[in-house]
Amino acid sequence: MHGDKFIVKFQTDKIEVKNITNNLLENCLIQVNNLFSKDVFKQVCDFLPGQVKTFDMTTFNFLDRYIDEIFYVNVYHNYKLSYSKTFNDKTKCYVLLSNKNFEKLTEQLIEGLTRYSNADILHYTVDYVSEISHTNLKNIEF
């Protein structure tokens, strides 16, 4: 989603949310849903500029329970959607293939893709290890 203000990561039974802006973000609602039980997690809080907050999901092991299921994360700031991502969605991703000579060009392509999409990016590298790093990117040696 263009204009994301957050980065969200999951640990075994925790969710980590980072404010990636230089602004105070007040009245933020973090919501995690799955297809069947709807609200798995809901929290309202404020974020200082660059602040990272970690929250316990529940008493059960979240990722073990939902590892293969689709679940959705939305973060609202002042009642407006600021971050939205579908996790474990196997229906859409970008697949890139490059060698060392095209790494800079591939990096520019990845930056463009992440600017307008939250879809996962699989970057297959031929005979080299890529140093490109982005939130939705997975580098795979081919």
Beta carbons of 28 and 75 less than 8 angstroms apart: yes
What are the backbone angles phi and psi of residue 14, rounded to the nearest 5°?
-135, 155
Q: What is the pLDDT of residues 76-90, one digit of tens each?
A: 998 899 899 887 766
CA-based nearest residue to 125, from 94, 102, 97, 95? 97
Q: What is the pLDDT of residues 86-115, one digit of tens each?
A: 877 667 788 999 999 999 999 999 998 988
Q: What is the dihedral of CA 107, 49, 79, 134, to 10 degrees?
A: 20
Instruction: Please give the domain boundaries of the chain with CATH numbers for all domains.
Output: 6-87 (2.60.40.10), 93-141 (no CATH)
The pLDDT assigned to 65 comes to 63
pTM for the structure as a whole:
0.59
The pLDDT assigned to 75 comes to 93
The pLDDT assigned to 97 comes to 93
* 118 three-class SS: coil
Q: What is the mean pLDDT of residues 68-76?
A: 83
